[in-house]
């Protein structure tokens, strides 16, 4: 983390986003082999992983700058304990899949902690000092210690202000991503702000 407080602004929608880098965390969400790489669970479901892979390079660009500036970086992974005790039966049954959560796939047991497919891709591999939040569901706060990690690193508390970098997120379905981005910045930012990695990096140039 940088030593002194300094408010920076990012060109964003619906209006500029102001933040103090010393109280900001980069949250890299679920960039796992099972979702992003060919042969993973996502592709096994019939999805084209190409749109997701387009988010890797811009995410790496932001990650590199955060690391150089010694700002907080946190990673998340969705997955379950090997005995699946934290995976509701309804989640396993959903979709009536031939190969689903806990079953053996090309990268080991699908979405099971410790398996190759569950781990984060090499391009964005966490450094030893970067926390990795293992979560059993979609939300990063449910059944995790994310809030404690954020609080310990002074990255604000509940009431977080969130900036989504639209070139660093992706969906197997482009129309779903477009709808989500529109919803986040709707009604003067009812959920948050939207920008791009390039605009954030321009703002962070002030730290160098």
Tell me the whole-structure pTM to 2 decimals: 0.93
Q: What is the pLDDT of residue 207?
A: 87
Q: What is the pLDDT of residue 151?
A: 83
Cβ-based neighbours of 149, under 8 Å, separated by 6 or more: 74, 131, 133
Can you give the residue ranges of every domain in the chain? 8-30+47-80+119-207
Q: Looking at the chain, how many residues does it have?
A: 208
Distances (CA, A) of 18 to 8, 92, 130, 183: 6, 41, 24, 20
Per-residue pLDDT of the chain (208 residues; tens, 9 = 90+): 444 568 999 999 999 999 999 999 999 999 999 999 999 999 999 999 999 999 999 999 999 999 999 999 999 999 999 999 999 999 999 999 999 999 999 999 999 999 999 999 999 999 999 999 999 999 999 999 999 998 877 674 567 899 999 999 999 999 999 999 999 999 999 899 999 999 999 999 988 7
| Ramachandran assignment for 129, one of left (phi > 0), alpha (psi -120 to 50 degrees), beta (any other) | alpha
Our measurement of the distance from residue 64's CA atom to the centroid of its chain's CA atoms, rounded to an integer in Å, reads 15
Q: What is the pLDDT of residue 152?
A: 79
Q: What is the pLDDT of residue 3?
A: 46
Q: Which CATH class is domain 8-30+47-80+119-207?
A: alpha beta
Q: What is the pLDDT of residue 159?
A: 76
Cβ-based neighbours of 43, under 8 Å, separated by 6 or more: 37, 49
Residue 122 class from Cβ within 10 Å (0-12 exposed, 13-18 middle, 19+ buried)? exposed
Cβ burial 129-163 (10 Å sphere, 16+ → b, else e): ebbebbbbeeebeeebebeebbeebebeeeeeeeb
Query: In whole angstroms, what is the distance from residue 190 CA to residue 159 CA?
Result: 12
| Cβ–Cβ < 8 Å for 41, 110 | yes
Per-residue tokens: 184: 């986040």
Q: What is the pLDDT of residue 1?
A: 40
């Amino acid at each position: 983390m940088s030593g002194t407080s300094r408010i920076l602004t990012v060109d964003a929608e619906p209006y500029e986003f102001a933040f103090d880098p010393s109280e900001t965390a980069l949250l890299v969400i679920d960039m796992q082999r099972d979702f992003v790489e060919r042969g993973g669970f996502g592709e096994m479901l019939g999805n084209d992983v190409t749109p997701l892979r387009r988010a890797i390079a811009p995410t790496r660009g932001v990650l590199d700058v955060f690391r150089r500036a010694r700002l907080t970086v946190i990673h998340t992974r969705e997955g379950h304990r090997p005995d699946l005790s934290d995976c509701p039966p309804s989640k396993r049954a959903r979709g009536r899949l031939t190969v689903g959560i806990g079953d053996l796939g090309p990268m080991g047991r699908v979405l099971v902690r410790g398996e190759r497919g569950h781990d984060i891709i090499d391009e964005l591999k966490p450094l030893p000092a970067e926390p990795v939040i293992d979560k059993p569901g979609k939300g990063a706060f449910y059944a995790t210690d994310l809030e404690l990690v954020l609080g310990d690193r002074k990255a604000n508390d509940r009431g977080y202000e969130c900036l989504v970098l639209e070139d660093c997120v992706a969906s197997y379905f482009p129309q779903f991503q477009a709808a989500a981005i529109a919803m986040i910045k709707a009604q003067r930012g009812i959920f948050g702000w939207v920008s791009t990695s390039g605009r954030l990096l321009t703002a962070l140039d002030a730290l160098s």
